């Protein structure tokens, strides 16, 4: 008895499997078992052989081996380096061969077993003479969830492939048979682009049959054959840029030859194989059918359709679209229960060489089954399900053939393919179809699975350490509003031992700064320990009366607070507290229990969502504040206060926390999974009669969206923008959309104005029923928070906050199929220098979730940067370089359009789209956050924290510190700017001249804070813009060592005229000059 596997672990697993088989089948023939194991399987490197005289003895040996017991007599094991080892290499020449032959003749089984496990090839069949035992079906080798693809090159030249649908034949030790493999993509198999089901490229089932016929000719050197019991379990859907490895497995098991077509995503080693076709193979052909008399059938089938008439009617009836490579039907004769079709090779097909039967030819025969129902209007879309028998009689000239179909049952046909003389080329009996819902084809969200992300809220209670005090100490500043929860919170903090000061409605930054500097010092405490901003939640009256006004007001308050904190040296943690603005799904604890979370029944507080977005940017620009957003349920003040106190005590690194029903939840970034997505039960089909609004439709991103909608069948496209058509390029784009079949209307409108939105929606409805809205309008006005103003915030928030709100309110009278907002991943990851933009996008995100709570369509797509469109493409070069250095790759227009197509059928409220190299991204110190802990990338090695330069500086004399710190800063500057390691920076050289912009300045600031352990102002590079000036400032900051001139350097001291000019500028003019020098701080006003 011989067994082998690739390694010992696999060998023991197979031994156990065989042992279980024998225990269940004790009557199996020992000689048939031995023969099957000896000749039915290729020997692998790790080998086991045992000489036994009965099944009972073998069972005992296998049990001992599987349980790793001590070896017994007549059991041999060995490990070879190669299965190609033979007797001549082991023993030498003819003598070795003779030695083996003697052992065989004498049936010296122990010697043969010993030689075999040592690597000698043994022809075991010589033990049995002329009457060979029967081979039996045995358990297969354990796969251990690994695939054994061939070693062939991944991209073989076309001249070297075996057949058009078979690139290579692959040997596998796991099966007795053959594996044929190829890679399917729209580039390698271009004719697939001509076969669409529900708008998706689907590999036709008849393509699998074509592949099997080619493989049979290769494997058996035979053409005539019979395939039986064919089933097509699952369609092979191919995305635009997808590459799938397709394998055809032909196995010989218990005297039966079977085939199986499977596929996996290329290079996705954990991708489960999907089976697309199954069946049996019988080689050779016994029957010799008489030819069909074509003329006789034509007389019975009196209704004649031309090529154009057939395909026009077919495409109106079902959601299948055939391109030229699948339009073989030249004419159709239709009878009561039979159809005849003349099939002609399409002129677009250059060659059919290498095919036994071209896929489109076989598919054309099945197309004829629809002929009898062409006039019945729209019917269910159907695809092949099974074939009882497929007979193939031999290859034939493809130029002119006939197809004959006879219906023999409901959705069941017999089909024949005939040559010009009526002789059979192929025949199908029992061909059946099955209805297929759109979800069955569109469920594979290929781009979403690769680029998609989501926010998951996972419950994570605070772990209290034993012996830890339940009190809260220190000085706490609470900024709230009259009649809010601030007074109760302040009282509770004081009861727990803290000093708490409550301030309501501080209106000016100067007032806040004075308040922060007048901390109520107590024994043992200096300065503020916690600063809490409670977001206003009560309905507002007076001038501030709308949700957009509230969003701007909340952001202005937080902006003033941060600007005041920057001017105060504080280690206080900043808390932004909201109520019911995060989409935390909380199911009832028992089915009969009501849902008591008010945010799940009354919607979400969209205005406060903007504050969460701003909080992310605060955390990015001011990491020393540890800005933490906490969203309370807003149901019971007492419960909310207890939740806040729990969070204040926790001292965790989580910065996005929500409490629902007393349970603590934390936000985690996670990959998109289909199983989590609520997909629509019906696919959204764009209507020729419908109208579709795209705001920002004249921008580069809006044009990409319009192209996708036009290609998908949208009848009327309304492109809205503030500027209208601006030149020949815009007009050329409009012409392209019209050529795609859409009627295009360009409307000038400002969506931040409700009356213009109302007029816009009425215009859409006049063209056709308004079915969908894509809100892609937006502008930028980048700048670090220290230089931002409420006015700059309002400008950026106008299209994304006011515009989204007005579209939400005024569109509720229309039965929309979709309402999609184009948000940004910045609203999830944060973005330095873009606080207003992040806040605006976060508002959109919350509002779309709010719409979901109300039962309205709404989806926010948080896009990563696009390559050739959108505001990301128009951002400064410095910001684009920053993305590249962090591993963020731009999304191509093709990817973006494909994602949008997949998102149309999603019922999720939010999805993030990001092309990122996590192995680079997660090495950045700023990503050392629990927010990313669900990104499963075991290979990532996060950046090790640099040596503590501060400790080094403390350990040396004051005279040495300046030079060491200066050298350290030089190295950090070279690293951050991206200079060559040997490039020198002059001590008085303005850092602006080296290419530093606001993104790099903030990056340098964060690295210095991480290394030195000191918080620094965000304007540190503005204020000390040379290497020497920065060194002197830090020396003073850390050690109080001041040189002769420690005042901030302007960087222009060598140019008195320039300095005088700057001194004459107003604050606004000075800001404009600095922004001009920092490209990333340019005020941008560009439509998305």
Span 336-366, pLDDT tens digits = 889 999 999 998 998 888 899 999 999 999 9
User: CA dist 938 to 35, 267, 452, 685, 934, Å?
Assistant: 45, 17, 19, 41, 11
State which H helix or E strand residue 719 sits in. strand 716-721
The answer on pLDDT for 1041 being more than 80 is: no
Span 856-883, pLDDT tens digits = 999 999 999 888 655 555 555 655 666 6
Task: Kindly report the pTM of this predicted structure.
Answer: 0.62
The answer on pLDDT for 942 being more than 60 is: no
User: CA dist 191 to 187, 188, 213, 350, Å?
Assistant: 9, 9, 18, 11
Q: What is the pLDDT of residue 681?
A: 42
- Pick 170 or 49 by higher pLDDT: 49
Q: What is the pLDDT of residue 684?
A: 77
pLDDT confidence band for 81 (50 / 70 / 90): low
> Judging by DSSP bridges, how do beta strands 818-824 and 859-863 pair with one another?
parallel
Q: Say which residues have a Cβ less than 8 Å from residue 884's Cβ, sequence separation at least 6.
A: none
| Closest to 613 measured CA to CA, from 849, 825, 451 | 825
What is the mean pLDDT of the segment spanning 717-734? 84
Phi, psi of 1019 (to 5 degrees): -95, 20
Span 265-287, pLDDT tens digits = 876 555 678 889 999 998 876 57
Query: Exposed (0-12), middle (13-18) or buried (19+): which is 118, by Cβ within 10 Å?
Result: middle
Distance of CA 989 to the CA centre of its chain: 45
3-state secondary structure of 625: helix
43-52, 252-261, 1068-1077: which has the minimum mean pLDDT? 1068-1077
| Closest to 997 measured CA to CA, from 829, 800, 847, 784 | 784
- Pick 978 or 437 by higher pLDDT: 437
In sequence order, which ranges of 700-773 are alpha helices (DSSP H)?
700-711, 728-739, 754-767
Phi, psi of 400 (to 5 degrees): -145, 120
pLDDT confidence band for 983 (50 / 70 / 90): low
What is the mean pLDDT of the segment spanning 216-230? 84
pLDDT above 90: percentage of residues in the chain: 35
Q: Say which residues have a Cβ less than 8 Å from residue 540's Cβ, sequence separation at least 6.
A: 549, 550, 553
State which H helix or E strand residue 824 sits in. strand 818-824
The answer on pLDDT for 815 being more than 90 is: yes
Q: Say which residues have a Cβ less than 8 Å from residue 651's Cβ, sequence separation at least 6.
A: none
Q: Could you tell me the strand order of the sheet in which 195-197 lies?
A: 236-238, 200-203, 195-197, 320-322
Q: What is the pLDDT of residue 1058?
A: 44
The total of other beta-carbon atoms located within 10 Å of residue 214's CB is 22
Q: What is the pLDDT of residue 84?
A: 42
Q: What is the pLDDT of residue 969?
A: 87
* Cα–Cα distance measured from residue 1041 to residue 1038, given in angstroms and rounded to the nearest whole number: 8
Domains in the chain (CATH in brackets) are 2-127 (3.30.70.3290), 161-283 (3.10.129.10), 294-442 (3.10.129.120), 458-668 (3.40.50.11460), 683-923 (3.40.50.720), 949-1081 (1.10.1200.10)
* Cα–Cα distance measured from residue 837 to residue 793, given in angstroms and rounded to the nearest whole number: 8
The answer on pLDDT for 556 being more than 90 is: yes
pLDDT confidence band for 596 (50 / 70 / 90): very low
State which H helix or E strand residue 976 sits in. helix 958-977
Instruction: Name residue, tokens 């409108």.
Output: 749
3-state secondary structure of 279: strand
pLDDT confidence band for 598 (50 / 70 / 90): very low
User: CA dist 534 to 485, 489, 518, 574, 599, Å?
Assistant: 8, 10, 21, 11, 18
Q: How many residues does the chain have?
A: 1088
What is the mean pLDDT of the segment spanning 487-508? 86
* Cα–Cα distance measured from residue 34 to residue 133, given in angstroms and rounded to the nearest whole number: 9
Q: What is the pLDDT of residue 160?
A: 56
Token readout for 538 is: 């009560």
In sequence order, which ranges of 350-401 are alpha helices (DSSP H)?
359-367
What is the mean pLDDT of the segment spanning 665-686? 70
Beta strands in 925-979, from DSSP E residues, in sequence order: none
The answer on pLDDT for 950 being more than 80 is: no
Token readout for 524 is: 């043992």
* Cα–Cα distance measured from residue 865 to residue 554, given in angstroms and rounded to the nearest whole number: 27
Span 22-37, pLDDT tens digits = 887 788 888 888 887 8
What is the mean pLDDT of the segment spanning 174-191? 84
Q: What is the pLDDT of residue 1047?
A: 38
Question: Sign of the C-alpha dihedral, residues 317, 322, 326, 331?
Answer: positive
Contact present, 1014 and 623 (Cβ < 8 Å): no
718-727, 844-853, 977-986: which has the minimum mean pLDDT? 977-986
Checking phi first, is residue 176 left (phi over 0); if not, alpha (psi -120 to 50) or beta? Answer: beta
Contact present, 307 and 341 (Cβ < 8 Å): no
The answer on pLDDT for 13 being more than 60 is: yes
Our CA angle for 965, 971, 973, nearest 5°, is 100
Contact present, 910 and 849 (Cβ < 8 Å): yes
User: CA dist 657 to 461, 610, 628, 668, Å?
Assistant: 11, 16, 8, 10
- Pick 901 or 367 by higher pLDDT: 367
Q: What is the dihedral of CA 583, 589, 593, 594, to 10 degrees?
A: -10
Token readout for 283 is: 């080689």
Q: What is the pLDDT of residue 1077?
A: 46
* Cα–Cα distance measured from residue 777 to residue 804, given in angstroms and rounded to the nearest whole number: 9
Contact present, 184 and 165 (Cβ < 8 Å): no
Q: What is the mean pLDDT of the chain?
A: 80
Token readout for 1006 is: 């964060």
* 1082 secondary structure, DSSP code: -
3-state secondary structure of 586: coil
What is the mean pLDDT of the segment spanning 760-768? 94
């Amino acid at each position: 008895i011989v067994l082998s596997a690739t390694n010992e672990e696999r060998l023991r697993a197979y031994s156990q499997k065989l042992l279980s088989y024998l225990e269940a089948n004790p009557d199996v023939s020992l000689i048939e078992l031995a023969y099957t194991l000896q000749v039915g399987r290729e020997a692998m490197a790790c080998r086991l052989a045992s000489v036994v005289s009965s099944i009972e003895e073998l069972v005992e040996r296998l049990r001992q081996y599987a349980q790793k017991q001590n070896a017994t007599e007549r059991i041999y094991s060995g490990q070879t380096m190669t299965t190609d080892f033979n007797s001549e290499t082991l023993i030498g020449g003819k003598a070795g061969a003779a030695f083996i032959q003697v052992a065989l003749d004498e049936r010296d089984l122990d010697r043969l077993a010993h030689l075999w496990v040592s690597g000698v090839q043994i022809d075991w069949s010589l033990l049995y003479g002329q009457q060979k035992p029967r081979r039996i079906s045995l358990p297969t080798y354990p796969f251990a969830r690994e695939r054994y693809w061939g070693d062939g090159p991944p991209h073989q030249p076309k001249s070297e492939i075996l057949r058009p649908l078979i690139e290579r034949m692959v040997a596998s030790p796991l099966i007795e048979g053959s594996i044929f493999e190829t890679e399917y993509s729209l580039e390698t198999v271009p004719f697939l682009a001509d076969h669409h089901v529900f708008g998706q490229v689907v590999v036709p089932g008849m393509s699998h049959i074509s592949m099997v016929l080619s493989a049979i000719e290769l494997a058996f050197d035979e053409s005539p054959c019979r395939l039986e019991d064919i089933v097509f379990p699952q369609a092979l859907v191919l995305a635009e840029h997808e590459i799938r490895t397709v394998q055809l497995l032909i196995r010989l098991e218990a005297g039966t030859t079977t085939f199986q077509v499977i596929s996996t995503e290329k290079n996705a080693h954990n991708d489960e194989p999907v089976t697309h076709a199954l069946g049996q193979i019988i080689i050779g052909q016994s029957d010799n059918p008489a030819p069909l008399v074509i003329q006789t059938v034509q007389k019975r089938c009196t209704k004649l359709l031309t090529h154009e008439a057939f395909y026009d009617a077919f495409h109106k009836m079902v959601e299948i679209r055939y391109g030229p490579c699948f339009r073989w039907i030249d004419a159709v004769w239709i009878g009561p229960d039979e159809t005849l079709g003349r099939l002609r090779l399409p002129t677009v097909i250059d060659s059919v060489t290498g095919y036994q039967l071209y896929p489109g030819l076989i598919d054309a025969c099945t197309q004829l089954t629809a002929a009898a129902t062409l006039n019945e209007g729209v019917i269910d879309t159907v695809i092949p399900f099974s074939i009882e028998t497929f007979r193939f009689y031999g290859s034939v000239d493809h130029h002119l053939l006939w197809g004959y179909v006879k219906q023999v049952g409901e959705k069941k046909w017999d089909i024949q393919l005939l040559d010009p003389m009526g002789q059979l080329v192929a025949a199908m009996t029992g061909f059946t179809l099955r209805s297929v819902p759109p979800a069955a084809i569109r469920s594979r969200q290929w781009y979403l699975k690769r680029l998609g992300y989501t926010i998951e809220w996972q419950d994570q209670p605070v772990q209290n350490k034993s012996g830890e005090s339940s009190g809260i100490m220190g000085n706490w500043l609470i900024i709230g509003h009259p009649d809010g929860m601030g007074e109760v919170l302040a009282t509770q903090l004081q009861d727990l031992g803290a000093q708490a000061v409550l301030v309501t409605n501080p209106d000016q930054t100067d007032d806040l700064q004075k308040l922060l500097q007048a901390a109520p010092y107590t024994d043992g405490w200096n300065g503020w320990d916690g600063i809490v901003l409670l977001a206003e939640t009560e309905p507002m009256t007076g001038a501030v009366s709308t949700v957009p006004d509230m969003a701007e007001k909340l952001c202005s308050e937080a902006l003033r607070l941060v600007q005041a904190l920057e001017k105060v040296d504080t280690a206080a943690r900043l808390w932004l507290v909201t109520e019911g603005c995060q989409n935390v799904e909380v199911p009832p604890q028992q089915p009969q229990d009501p849902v008591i979370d008010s945010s799940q029944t009354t919607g979400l507080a969209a205005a406060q969502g903007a504050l969460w977005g701003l909080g992310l940017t605060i955390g990015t620009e001011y990491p020393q504040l540890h800005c933490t957003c906490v969203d309370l349920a807003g149901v019971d003040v007492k419960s909310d206060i207890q939740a806040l106190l729990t969070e204040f005590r926790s001292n965790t690194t989580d910065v996005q926390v929500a409490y629902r029903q007393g349970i603590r939840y934390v936000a985690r970034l996670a990959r998109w999974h289909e199983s989590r997505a609520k997909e629509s039960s019906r696919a959204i089909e764009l209507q020729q009669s419908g109208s579709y609004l795209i705001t920002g439709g004249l921008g580069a991103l809006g044009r990409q969206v319009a192209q996708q909608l036009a290609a998908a069948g949208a009848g009327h496209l309304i492109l809205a923008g503030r500027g209208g058509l601006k030149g020949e390029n815009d007009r050329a784009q409009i012409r392209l959309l019209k050529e795609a079949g859409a009627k295009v209307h360009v409307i000038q409108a400002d969506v931040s104005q409700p009356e213009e939105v109302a007029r816009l929606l009425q215009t859409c409805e006049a063209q056709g029923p308004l079915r969908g809205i894509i809100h892609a309008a937006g502008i930028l006005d980048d700048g670090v928070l220290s230089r931002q103003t409420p006015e700059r915030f309002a400008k950026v928030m106008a299209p994304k906050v006011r515009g989204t709100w007005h579209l939400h309110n005024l569109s509720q009278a229309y039965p929309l199929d979709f309402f999609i907002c184009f948000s940004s991943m910045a609203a999830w990851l944060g973005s330095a220098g873009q606080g207003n933009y992040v806040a605006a996008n976060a508002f959109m995100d919350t509002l779309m979730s709010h719409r979901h709570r109300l039962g309205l369509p709404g989806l926010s797509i948080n896009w990563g940067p696009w390559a050739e469109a959108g505001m990301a493409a128009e951002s400064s070069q410095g910001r684009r370089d920053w993305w590249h250095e962090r591993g963020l790759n731009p999304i191509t227009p093709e990817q973006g359009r494909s994602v949008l197509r997949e998102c149309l059928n999603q019922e999720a409220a939010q999805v993030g789209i990001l092309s990122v190299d996590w192995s680079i991204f997660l090495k950045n110190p700023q990503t050392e956050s629990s927010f990313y802990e669900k990104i499963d990338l075991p290979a990532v090695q996060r950046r090790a924290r640099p040596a503590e330069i501060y400790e080094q500086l403390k350990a040396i004399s004051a005279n040495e510190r300046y030079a060491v710190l200066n050298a350290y800063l030089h190295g950090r500057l070279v690293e951050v700017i991206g200079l060559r390691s040997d490039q020198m920076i002059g001590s008085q050289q303005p850092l602006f001249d080296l290419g530093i912009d606001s993104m790099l300045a903030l990056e340098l600031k964060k690295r210095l804070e991480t290394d030195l352990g000191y918080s620094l102002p965000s304007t540190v590079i503005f204020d000390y813009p040379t290497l020497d000036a920065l060194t002197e400032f830090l020396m003073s900051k850390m050690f109080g060592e001041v040189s002769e001139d420690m005042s901030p350097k302007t960087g222009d001291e060598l140019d008195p005229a320039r300095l005088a000019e700057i001194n004459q500028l107003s604050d606004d003019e000075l800001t404009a000059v600095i922004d001009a020098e920092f490209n990333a701080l340019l005020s941008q006003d560009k439509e998305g």
